Structures are given as structure tokens and as C-alpha cells.
Structure 1
């Protein structure tokens, strides 16, 4: 009986640690990319503020609407994730989700 209780206790502690680690990492990831203006400033602004390397400038709503219409949002997000000739994969955002990329594109288009 002692062995079963000890084993159950070890499994419980391991499970609690795993769930805690998962919860902490989920919060860290979601908060890291959740603040779109900060994420933009840390990853996109280097090119999209100035239009460097042919990047569509933030606030150029006509340019953004044209490319969104031309490619479609899913393909545009896929391009960002995979990188383009001038832009590294992920657009310098290591922890952005597809939803974050959509929000960033929307943010830049206004």
C-alpha cells in the first residue's frame, strides 16, 4: 500500500508541475504577442515605418487593402510566416500566432 501511495504522490506532483509550466508558458506566449502596438514596434516597425526594402508603410491603407485583396488574408499570413525575399520568416516575431499576424496586418493597414 505504501508503494502505491508513494507512486501516486510522485505522479500527482509531476502532473501539477507540468500543468503549472504549461499555464505559465501559455500566459507568457499570449501576453508577449497580445499587445499589438508593442509587437509592431519590436518586430515590424523596422521596415514598415519607413518602407525599407519595399515594405508597405504602416498607415498606407490603400496599399494594404490592395495587397489584402490581391493575396487574401490567409495567403498573406502564410507569406509572413514563411518569409519573403526582403522579409525574414515570421517578420521578426518569434512567438506570433496566425491571429497575431492578422492583427498586425490590420494594425498596419490603418
Structure 2
């Protein structure tokens, strides 16, 4: 049998594909309430705050996009919460990292932001 470079490349491609697919399989040991899943399903109890959350916060904080701490993920929020609500409020109003100023809510009051921050950090419903 003669060696063909195309067979070798096909074999490498097949192995790479199988390895990639194996890495994508769900972890059977992962809890059903992983931070990402629970972050996506958490919603504020207050209907007005819920509306603002969906319109302004959900896109990043439910998935962790742009390194945003995920909603209700105590571990991700802990170092931020330790800085205090005044720092969190300041960062929300002025923007920080990938988050734009006012967190994409141009109509929010400081009270709205405080409620949203406490909800996101898992410190209120």
C-alpha cells in the first residue's frame, strides 16, 4: 500500500474532529444548577426592576459575556461586594471594564441601580 498525503491529512482531521467533539460533551458530574444555567433563569421579583434587568443587564450578566460577573454567582460577586455598595454604584454609573456607563440603562436612578446590583450579586430577590 502506498502512502498518500491526502490520507494522512484526512486521518489528522478525523482525529482532531473526534477530540473536539469529545471535549464538547456535557460533564455528567456537572450539577443541574450550574452558575451559568441558574444565572440565565434568575429574575428580579419587582416587575419594574425585572424589565430593566432584561433590557440592560441580562445580555452580559446571565452568561458572563465580557467578563461580567454572572447573576447570582456569589463567588464571582464576592470580591466586588467586598468593595461596598458605593464603589459598585460608582462603577455602574461610570462604567468599568467592558460595562458601559450606566450599564446601558440611561433612565435608571441610583435607587434602581442599587436594587439591580443587590439582585445581580445574589443579595436580594
Considering the TM-score relative to the shorter chain, is it more than 0.5? yes
Partner of 2:121: 109
CA-to-aligned-CA distance 1:65-102 (integer Å, 9 cap, x gap):
33111x21111101110011201100000111111111
Could you tell me which of 43, 56, 63 is aligned with 1:43? 56
Partner of 2:80: 67
Partner of 2:65: 52
Structure 1, unmatched stretches of 5+, are: 1-33
| Separation of aligned partners in 1, 2:79 and 2:49 | 22
RCO comparison, higher one (Cα < 8 Å, 6+): 1
Structure 2, unmatched stretches of 5+, are: 1-46
Aligned 8 A contact 1:36 1:107 in 2: no
* Superposition TM-score, scaled by structure 1 size: 0.64
* Superposition TM-score, scaled by structure 2 size: 0.57
What stretches of structure 1 move > 2 A for 4+ residues in a row?
A: none
Partner of 2:104: 92
SS in 2 for 1:56: coil
Pairwise CA RMSD of aligned residues?
A: 1.4
CA-to-aligned-CA distance 1:3-58 (integer Å, 9 cap, x gap):
xxxxxxxxxxxxxxxxxxxxxxxxxxxxxxx7111110000011001000100000
Higher helix share: 1
